[in-house]
Amino acid sequence: MKNCLEQKRVNNTFVIIVSVLLERISYYGVRSMLILYMIGETLQIAHYEAITIYQYMLIFLLFSQLLGGIFGDFVLKNKKSILIGGIVAVLGCVLFCIPNINMMYLGILFLTLGSGFLKPNMLAAYGKTYYNDKQYLDTAFSLYHLVVNIGAFIGVLLFAYISDSFGFLVGFGFAGVLYLLTALVSFAISETDEKLQYNQQSASSYAILYIVIAMVTSVAFWALYEMSGTSRYMLGADESFMSQLSAYFSKEILDYIDAVFLIPLLIIFGGIWLKFHRSQFLKIALGFLFGSLALFQFSQISIGNFQENIVYLFSGIFFYSLAEIYIVVITFSIITRYTNPKYLTTIMALLASLIGAIVYLVNPITSFLFNNDPSLSTYVGLSISIAITVMLFLGFFFGKKISKTNG
């Protein structure tokens, strides 16, 4: 029986990971083409209007994810929601292939609705696969986050090549094929018939608090990540720095430097978490410590000193990659660990929507700070990150002390 359940877990992991890879390749591929398609010769939409449409698409995605989460938990379950999301996304890609502005709007509607059903349901189905084997959660979500980043990396590069070589319509058609494969692969997902071990009576009285803390820290991380981008933008606008940098690194490496650091680290830490699978909140505290180190490195960037700036830039990206592993991955683990599986999809969808909303709200604040002083946004982010780091470490050690006292 045990071997049977382990085999089912391995099979489910493979099926969902393949689905996620296909979906992320197509999603990021379409996103990378969309604005260029809108401002191109076929539709000839003004650049500002195209960006506005794109922003509205991202806002609608916040609501479609919540809808997908609710359907996944209360109406269709995860497997059927993934199937429907894939088919709806295929229809969106088909509509993009009709060179008409009204069809494009409908395509955006269908694509965003399909993505809203796919993302939270795949994430929750994956979490439920490990729900009764919680010691593997950190490693499992490291693999999941690894595949998401690989999918995004491949998607942007692949669809840039397809759209340049064969045109946007071929690119949208290929994305539709990938979404169709995502839907078909979902048939192999096994919605476990074993009882997920959640007992309302024996569940920790602090479960809701743990979930809230995990969600708040994840949202804070992405807000701070957004604020850290101003120093990198300043360097990117420095033609002298970029010219010298391109002598050492190819344009492709520079465009995806975050992934160059993050992907190998995810592989390494996926193995480490097999041994060190406890103390999730200590890991998050360490994540914010790494994030603070990253922001400090970014705050030291100044125009004119190439050798120092390259050290600050790469060390900052390295520390932020560590922070992402310690915060984003562990957040998924904590939420899965303490959430009643009946509501897991909705909680995951809520987290994704909150992250998207806070990033959208932080953008104008970051721009305002940047316009007043290019480094001000980074310093504000650093101050907030240090404060969160201190609070998390204090909370962790006080929590341990209280547990020992009560135990």
Whole-angstrom distance, CA of residue 98 vs CA of residue 78: 31
CATH architecture of the domain formed by 207-399: Up-down Bundle (1.20)
* CATH class entry, domain 2-188: mainly alpha
Whole-angstrom distance, CA of residue 285 vs CA of residue 241: 34
CA angle 291, 151, 103 (to 5 degrees): 115
Residue 367 belongs to what H/E stretch? helix 344-372
Contacts of 160 (CB under 8 A, 6+ apart): 32
- CA separation (Å) from 382 to 262, 288, 289, 294, 393? 21, 10, 10, 9, 17
Ranges of each domain in the chain: 2-188, 207-399
Instruction: Judge if 2-188 and 207-399 fold alike in CATH terms.
Output: yes
Q: What is the pLDDT along the chain (407 residues), one digit of tens a residue?
A: 556 667 777 888 999 999 999 999 999 999 999 999 999 888 889 989 999 999 999 999 999 999 999 999 999 899 999 999 999 999 999 999 998 999 999 999 999 999 999 999 999 999 999 888 888 999 999 999 999 999 999 999 999 999 999 999 999 999 999 999 999 998 888 876 445 555 554 455 688 889 999 999 999 999 998 887 766 666 666 667 677 777 676 655 666 788 889 999 999 999 998 888 778 899 999 999 999 999 999 888 877 677 888 888 889 999 999 999 999 999 999 999 999 999 999 999 999 999 999 988 888 888 887 777 777 888 888 999 999 999 999 988 887 777 666 65
Q: What is the pLDDT of residue 201?
A: 43
Amino acid identity of residue 274, one-letter, is L
Q: What is the pLDDT of residue 334?
A: 94
Whole-angstrom distance, CA of residue 167 vs CA of residue 385: 44
Q: What is the pLDDT of residue 299?
A: 85
DSSP letter assigned to residue 223: H
Q: In this structure, is the dihedral angle defined by the CA atoms of residues 306, 312, 315 and 320, taken in order, positive or negative?
A: negative
Q: What is the pLDDT of residue 202?
A: 47
Q: What is the pLDDT of residue 158?
A: 93
Neighbours of 157 (CB within 10 A): 17
